[in-house]
Chain A
Amino acid sequence: KAGVTQTPRYLIKTRGQQVTLSCSPISGHRSVSWYQQTPGQGLQFLFEYFSETQRNKGNFPGRFSGRQFSNSRSEMNVSTLELGDSALYLCASSSTGGTENTGELFFGEGSRLTVL
């Protein structure tokens, strides 16, 4: 069974640009979450989707957005990039959802974004 796949693995952007990151969850998983990991702030929750609906959102500005497609694949977008957006962006999927949210997540290897 394939794991969580994130693309691209590495990318470099300049300030003011926008970026779209993609995540393919484990087959059958309907919940997809996104996290930002930085040396200073650690792991921070961005948002979670279940069956194409955003159920929860972290404390990030509106420049960070996401969506989920009917096949459970998810994308996140960051517009007007800032230097502080440089981070490892991790996607995670879960087989639980609805009333069974246990937080047991399966993570991808991440997309490392560098903003110059």
Chain B
Amino acid sequence: AQSVTQLDSQVPVFEEAPVELRCNYSSSVSVYLFWYVQYPNQGLQLLLKYLSGSTLVKGINGFEAEFNKSQTSFHLRKPSVHISDTAEYFCAVSRVSGGYNKLIFGAGTRLAVHP
């Protein structure tokens, strides 16, 4: 079975400051890794994904994440946040084999960007 732990439920940050949202996962099989964002009253939008290859992944809106297999982590970072980045962020995994597009999500991290 797979599980995802997002280490911070809420992260407050000032505008233009850097931010890191932490994600650790547990799995006995190979997984794909994702970060999704949810704005108020909306569905989820894919920010970035790690399927294979380079461990540093760049996504939309200036976000990036680094896959660390030894530490089973996939932390999300942005060098300078904007007010519009205020949202809930979800880390998720999917089995490489037999995953059937099933995602296991973390509990989410609420990012609050203050002016």
Residues of A at under 8 Å CB distance from B? 4, 31, 33, 35, 42-45, 48, 50, 55-56, 58, 90, 92, 94, 96-97, 101-110
Instruction: Name the CB-closest residue of A to B33.
Output: A103
Residues of B at under 8 Å CB distance from A? 32, 34, 36, 41-46, 49, 51, 90, 92-94, 98-108
Q: Given A101-B100, A105-B101, do A43 and B45 touch, yes or no (CB 8 Å)? A: no
Interface of A is mostly: strand
**Which residues on the B side are within 8 Å of A103 (C-beta)?**
32, 34, 49, 92-94, 99, 101-103
Q: How far is the CB of A81 from chain B (nearest CB, A)?
A: 22
In the complex, number of A-B residue pairs with CB atoms less than 8 Å apart: 76
Q: Are A104 and B49 in contact (CB under 8 A)?
A: yes
Q: Are B34 and A104 in contact (CB under 8 A)?
A: yes
Q: Are B43 and A31 in contact (CB under 8 A)?
A: no
**Which residues on the A side are within 8 Å of B41 (C-beta)?**
109
Q: How far is the CB of B21 from chain A (nearest CB, A)?
A: 15
Q: Are A97 and B101 in contact (CB under 8 A)?
A: yes
**A97–B101 Cα gap in the complex (Å)?**
8
Q: Given A4-B43, A90-B43, A107-B44, do A33 and B102 touch, yes or no (CB 8 Å)? A: yes
